Structure 1
């Protein structure tokens, strides 16, 4: 199997690919692609093929009328029309031979996904520092700001990712949410998080816990949320012991204190345009771990503050 792309990165973005199944009955390549990408108009696919914009593992352009080529992959550059510019910058926290650690702003995705392609941390960094092999070691939600680690040396990536997989990285977050006197803190929220009712959201269900978050009150805030029936706000420290999708957001909503400006929890508000003036009040404050290559304690902390905690 040829898995290495024959195409270089373009504008900091890696090419995409589509796998060609060994099993299937398609008379030609275009018929397969129309079935694989039903959301794309036939004319768009035909034009891309005519322009030579899809290539095989050897870098050779393919035609729509050619017999279906079983096995392998086709490579192409994905396009996102009218991609919205995120008006915030990435701050560099640390760089050495293996690691690049950054302070991610709100609204900027870690990697290309959906409608975000060039407006992502990895694409910006690859382009800014000419680092085509830069890869993320872990990720943050697009709406979340804070510390993210990237690997500069591809052979070292697995060792750092293993730290996260084996839960050897201490992660701390901060969040602004409503304050409630009836919630006893600190506490550990245990629950089973599974796919939610929409394509994007998650939910807690009545099964054996698969997620654990320690939740602490840092302090009550001298601000109020006038639109909320319980307007008093507080700053919380969140320490996830597991890494489920949207775990912190689901756990806070499950406690009845959803994070301020969360567009998906507890009630999804739909896929609407970002309000850059009202970011999710969630920050990846710090990461701490023992470096697998030199045995040293590594600690990286965000220099950002949540808007509602600034004075």
Structure 2
């Protein structure tokens, strides 16, 4: 957050929380109820270090009274974070944007059990980029081209470009044989939030998602009992998990997809079976210079 009362620390910006209306006597009492997995002793230690503060940067103590309506700032901490043994590669950088080739398994932003092992925090820490912010989404399981904003003043122009679908994205995926494939193949459906909470699902109704599908080549069948093809995918819309849902609905779930068609048990720290989905390229007209931009991943999908 820009102008936060706590500085970026080791690439991690402070988190903040609005204090809701309630009858807690102390801030510590509220925090231990709001975050049951973080002990009171841990919060007390953070307060002693001056790392739980208000909007003006004034530190809280363990006996600070609870006053709803304001904000607190603090650093999120994870005791034992799993290292992600894959590296990102910078494809392009100017004063406005940073384009990165993201590996599989690396989350873009801090979430869940990942903090330092995220693309955003890695880049901030390695390259001293305090104002870095992602312009669009890319799943942890997906590799490929990812664009970040470097400049707060120009960020809105690039965000607007994505919001108005002024960006052409091409993906690659490995999946089974789409028996009724006939070019051009266009799939549309209505996608909504599903269950469990991290999945999407299709339902009847007006389509709100569209993907263009091109079958490229038949790959070696030696490692798999069924034929595996390489597909080029062009999502016209940008729904969460859209490509994964659409190929699964067509009966050809993406190779190694643990969410679709069925959510499999969590693989935890197993990184031996990456999802065979790659954000191959992004193309657009730069909203500031008018120059045509094209960025392509150097990564390859194989069986």
- Give the TM-score normalised by structure 1: 0.91
How far, CA to CA, are the matches of 1:193 and 1:274 in structure 2? 29
Q: Which residue in the other structure is 1:219 paired with? A: 217
Contiguous gaps of at least 5 residues in structure 1? none
1:277 corresponds, among 269, 272, 281, to 272
Check if 1:256 corresponds to 2:227.
Answer: no
Q: Which residue in the other structure is 2:15 paired with? A: 16
Contiguous gaps of at least 5 residues in structure 2? none
Check if 1:56 corresponds to 2:54.
Answer: yes
How far, CA to CA, are the matches of 1:63 and 1:271 in structure 2? 39
Aligned pair in 2 of structure 1 residues 183, 100: CA closer, same or farther (>3 Å)? same
Q: Which residue in the other structure is 2:154 paired with? A: 156
CA RMSD of aligned residues (A): 1.8
Q: Which residue in the other structure is 2:80 paired with? A: 82
DSSP 3-state at the match of 1:158 = helix
Q: Which residue in the other structure is 2:23 paired with? A: 25
DSSP 3-state at the match of 2:221 = strand
How far, CA to CA, are the matches of 2:207 and 2:259 in structure 1? 22
Q: Residues 225 and 232 of structure 1 are in contact (CA less than 8 Å); yes or no, is this contact kept in structure 2?
A: no
Aligned pair in 2 of structure 1 residues 169, 191: CA closer, same or farther (>3 Å)? same
Q: Residues 224 and 232 of structure 1 are in contact (CA less than 8 Å); yes or no, is this contact kept in structure 2?
A: no
Aligned pair in 2 of structure 1 residues 68, 87: CA closer, same or farther (>3 Å)? same
DSSP 3-state at the match of 1:113 = coil
Q: Which residue in the other structure is 2:89 paired with? A: 91
Q: Give 1:220 shift.
A: 1.6
Q: Give 1:51 shift.
A: 4.4
Q: Which residue in the other structure is 1:122 paired with? A: 120
Q: Which residue in the other structure is 1:179 paired with? A: 177
Q: Residues 225 and 233 of structure 1 are in contact (CA less than 8 Å); yes or no, is this contact kept in structure 2?
A: no
Q: Residues 186 and 217 of structure 1 are in contact (CA less than 8 Å); yes or no, is this contact kept in structure 2?
A: no
Check if 1:288 corresponds to 2:288.
Answer: no
DSSP 3-state at the match of 1:107 = coil
How far, CA to CA, are the matches of 2:64 and 2:270 in structure 1? 47
Q: Which residue in the other structure is 1:204 paired with? A: 202
Aligned length: 303
Check if 1:241 corresponds to 2:239.
Answer: no
Check if 1:5 corresponds to 2:13.
Answer: no
Aligned pair in 2 of structure 1 residues 11, 121: CA closer, same or farther (>3 Å)? same
How far, CA to CA, are the matches of 2:195 and 2:271 in structure 1? 26
How far, CA to CA, are the matches of 2:127 and 2:2 in structure 1? 26
Deviations 1:171-207 (A, max 9, x none): 0000000113234443221111111111211111123
DSSP 3-state at the match of 2:114 = coil
Deviations 1:267-293 (A, max 9, x none): 111222243232110000111111111
How far, CA to CA, are the matches of 2:66 and 2:102 in structure 1? 43
Deviations 1:100-137 (A, max 9, x none): 11111111111111111111111111111111111111
Q: Residues 224 and 233 of structure 1 are in contact (CA less than 8 Å); yes or no, is this contact kept in structure 2?
A: no
DSSP 3-state at the match of 1:219 = strand
DSSP 3-state at the match of 1:222 = coil
